[in-house]
Amino acid sequence: MPASRLVRALCLIAAGLLAAGCTDAAAGPAPTPSQRPATPSAEQSSPQARPSPVASVHPEGRTRVLEYGDLRVRATPENDGVRTEIEVANTYERNTTYSVQISIADGKGWTAYNRFWLQDVPPGKTGRDEAVIGSRDMGPIPQEPKVFVDEFTPITDR
């Protein structure tokens, strides 16, 4: 990983942790991501470096909302886990694929995560996905979930 991407990834992780009010001790090991099939006709590269946005977290009823630049995460406790919805606005000039890993925690040891893979989001459009993260088998579902952005990696096609 080039140094600039590594620094950007570490900044994103730190900002997500600060915004969520959690420590990295709550994060678990990452699952093996599914790989995007190689596209022989298109070269992939990282977008130009942008200044790091400021993260903000606010409640909307029972839902915790984390906004971080082009990324918005909504985490709502349910009976079977935490419904987690993500949206990424593509502000680049080309189709962009986003690899996003989100962790949800309670700050007391309950932690679950999911990797989202938003493929080929057109310029000016918003990619969306959702999943229920965690389960009752892990213990009581967090009623005030803490949201971590473990990874946020945009990949643009040339």
Whose tokens are 């082009």? That residue is 70
What residue type is assigned to position 77 of the chain? P
Predicted pLDDT at 48: 58
Predicted pLDDT at 3: 45
Predicted pLDDT at 55: 85
User: Cα torsion for 103, 154, 42, 120, to the nearest 10°?
Assistant: 70
* Cα–Cα dist 105/148, whole Å: 8
Whose tokens are 């903000």? That residue is 56
Give the pLDDT confidence of 87-133 residue by residue, as tens digits. Answer: 999 999 999 999 999 999 999 999 999 999 999 999 999 999 999 99
**135 contacts 77 by C-beta, under 8 angstroms:** no
- Going residue by residue through the chain, which has 158 residues, state the pLDDT in tens, using 9 for 90 and above: 444 444 455 444 544 444 444 433 333 444 333 333 333 333 344 455 667 778 899 999 999 999 999 999 999 999 999 999 999 999 999 999 999 999 999 999 999 999 999 999 999 999 999 999 999 999 999 999 999 999 999 998 77
The three-state (H, E, C) secondary structure of the chain, written as one string: CCHHHHHHHHHHHHHHHHHHCCCHHHCCCCCCCCCCCCCCCCCEECCCCCCCCCEEEEEECCEEEEEECCEEEEEEEECCEEEEEEEEECCCCCCEEEEEEEEEECCCCCEEEEEEEEEEECCCCEEEEEEEECCHHHCCCCCCCEEEEEEEEEEEEC
* Cα–Cα dist 21/38, whole Å: 38
Please give the backbone phi and psi of residue 43, each rounded to the nearest 5 degrees, phi first.
-90, 140
* Cα–Cα dist 130/134, whole Å: 13
